[in-house]
Amino acid sequence: MDMKLFGPVIHILLALVISPLLMGIINRTKAKFAGRKGQPLLQPYYDIIKLLRKGSVYSTTTTWVFRLGPVAGLSAMIIAILIIPSGGINSLLSFPCDFILMAYILGVARFLTVTAALDTGSPFEGMGASREMQFAILAEVVMFMGVAVLAVGTGKISLSSIYYTLWDSNFTNIAPAVFLVALSFLIVLLTENARIPVDDPNTHLELTMIHEVMVLDHGGVDLALIQYGSCLKLWLFSSLLAGMAIPVRTGIMIVDMGINTVGILLISVFVGIIESGMARLKLLHIPQMLLAAFSVTAAAFLWVLR
Amino acid sequence: MTTWIDIFLLALVLTDFRLLASSRLGAIIQTTVFQAVSLSACMLLMAVRPISIYIIALSIVTFTVKGIILPWLLRRAMREADVQREVRPIIGYSASVLIGVVLLGLSFIIFMPMKETVSGSAFLMPGALFTTLTGLMMIISRKNALTQVAGYLVMENGIYAFGVILAVEEPLLIEMGVLLDVFVAVFVMGITVYQISREFDHIDTDRLSELKD
């Protein structure tokens, strides 16, 4: 195999294989903090396999829109994974302004999940869909602003080349700005992946759910696809965050990839710690938190513009 | 070395945003402590090597006054006036933060032409101006007298940051003068706030205009 392709392919395989482990790590961390033994690390895999063996039940009120949601959502995630680089290693699909495509593919996935939720006609799902869209719009602004900071700071316009230049040798003049972006990216990660303090993935009350309530009517294979898709989404954001926050580039591909992967796993631990230490914010306060993230990125943007 | 100055300046700017966004007085007072830390750290880092004993002394005095004594005074006033939070600000918190972003942009634009003339971090002048403007925002957009006192303190922090830039040439006396000024002002204001709250059962400056016998 061509050596240039080797790195990206390994990254995608890693993402496809390890991503459910991230959820397991988060749950294990939370269990440790709560003094419990916790479920096995591989529990998300067992769940997905169990669900894949089951059949799906469809309500008679739903149409093809409902069936399209999970499948298209998962494929969108896989396409998005193709675009993101792993630390300094290029992605398979890299071209100028590819981050715009990535953001909108995530948008498409969200749109399809939301329409599938609305298709059931359940008022709870409609409520969850409306909340999901509201917060996603705000998070998207922060994400674009963050990528803009990196693009202006490095002078590159594709994700791969941005991350390639990011922590090159003698690259410290915009380091504080990059850390600020990483900080706001963490908030985007928590928002997009429906984690505490934005959304509680373990909640059992439909009224308080945001993301979880939208997939209540999916079952069996569909639910497995959705769960796997959300694992991939967590991997995607963690990988982007790890590439930003870890200021190490050795230049040796395997080592860089290892560092990035360890970084991604550490981010899961960190998310678990955040979830153990924080309660959910009031719904009205979530836009304020995203606004804070936005102002932090705006400060970083002004920093790199000077 | 410039990286460290940058980091402390960024801390200053971020604390400004926190001041604009928080309603709790305790958080605001705590944030002014952070500002004091980053100001005194900046002062040490900016100074010409070898560092003179005066700079070290000044930085220690800065931290003691702005980071220990004044917050203590404000906390005491807060306890005695029995207020925890700003209930109804004139400009909401989200709007304040957005205005803050605009102000930060403005500060950068204003100092764009001076980029080459000032030595050290290019973030220093805009950061100082932004801190001053933040203090001003806190004074005009909040009703609680204690928040306004804290705003005054923040405004002085900004002016002080300007002083830090010129600490090399500026006589020590002026810095000490500014420091004493703030100290006395906040000291007097803290006592006044307590007296007002005892007299009128509130420290809402909007309602102070309707004084009665």
Partner residue opposite A306 with nearest CB, options B21, B98, B122: B122
Domain range summary for chain B, segments of one domain joined by +: 2-209
Looking at residue A150, what is its pLDDT?
92
Return the sign of the alpha-carbon dihedral for residues A280, A284, A286, A292: negative
Residue B11 clears pLDDT 60, i.e. is over it: yes
Residue A175 clears pLDDT 60, i.e. is over it: yes
Residue A203 clears pLDDT 70, i.e. is over it: yes
Residue B82 distance to chain A (closest CA, Å): 25
Residues on chain A touching B122 (C-beta within 8 angstroms): 306
Residue B22 distance to chain A (closest CA, Å): 11
Partner residue opposite A306 with nearest CB, options B7, B101, B108: B108
Looking at residue B116, what is its pLDDT?
67
Residues on chain A touching B123 (C-beta within 8 angstroms): 303, 306
Q: What is the mean pLDDT of residues A114-128?
A: 91
Looking at residue B166, what is its pLDDT?
67
Among all residues of chain B, which has the CA nearest to that of A296? B14
| Cα–Cα dist B4/A297, whole Å | 19
Among all residues of chain B, which has the CA nearest to that of A288? B94
Looking at residue A108, what is its pLDDT?
95
Q: What is the mean pLDDT of residues A136-144?
A: 94
Record: contact B105-A176, CB cut-off 8 A: no
Record: contact A299-B10, CB cut-off 8 A: yes
Record: contact B13-A306, CB cut-off 8 A: no
Residues 6+ apart with CB under 8 A from B51: B44
Looking at residue A211, what is its pLDDT?
84
Residues on chain B touching A299 (C-beta within 8 angstroms): 10, 13-14, 17, 101, 104
* Greater model confidence, B1 or A104: A104
| Range with the poorest average pLDDT among A47-61, A198-212, B127-141 | A198-212
Among all residues of chain A, which has the CA nearest to that of B18? A292
| Range with the poorest average pLDDT among B44-48, B170-174, B188-192 | B170-174
Record: contact A299-B3, CB cut-off 8 A: no
Residues on chain B touching A298 (C-beta within 8 angstroms): 101, 104-105
| Cα–Cα dist A52/A221, whole Å | 5
Domain range summary for chain A, segments of one domain joined by +: 3-305
* B26 Cβ under 8 Å from any chain A Cβ: no
pTM for the full model?
0.88
Whether the ω angle into residue A197 lies within 30 degrees of 0, i.e. cis, is yes
Residue B101 clears pLDDT 80, i.e. is over it: yes
Mean of per-residue pLDDT scores for chain A? 90
Percent of chain A with pLDDT over 70: 98
* B104 Cβ under 8 Å from any chain A Cβ: yes
Percent of chain A with pLDDT over 90: 58
Residues 6+ apart with CB under 8 A from B1: B45
pLDDT band, residue B130 (cuts 50/70/90) = very high
Q: Which whole-number Å values give the CA distances from B184 to A18, A251, A258, A279, B75, in the listed order?
A: 61, 58, 58, 41, 16
Residues on chain A touching B14 (C-beta within 8 angstroms): 180, 296, 299
Q: Of the ranges A209-218, A234-243, B8-17, which is most confident? A: A234-243
Record: contact A302-B17, CB cut-off 8 A: no
Per-residue pLDDT of A230-273, as tens digits, reads 999 999 999 999 999 988 888 788 888 899 999 999 999 999 99
Q: Looking at residue B50, what DSSP letter applies?
A: S
Q: Which whole-number Å values give the CA distances from B143 to B97, B135, B195, B202, B203, in the listed order?
A: 17, 14, 17, 11, 8
CB B154 within 8 A of CB B37: no
Looking at residue B119, what is its pLDDT?
60
Looking at residue A170, what is its pLDDT?
60
Residues on chain B touching A176 (C-beta within 8 angstroms): 3, 6-7, 10
Record: contact B17-A296, CB cut-off 8 A: yes
Residues 6+ apart with CB under 8 A from B134: B16, B19, B20, B100, B103, B151, B154, B155, B158
Looking at residue B168, what is its pLDDT?
59
Looking at residue B162, what is its pLDDT?
81
Among all residues of chain B, which has the CA nearest to that of A183? B14
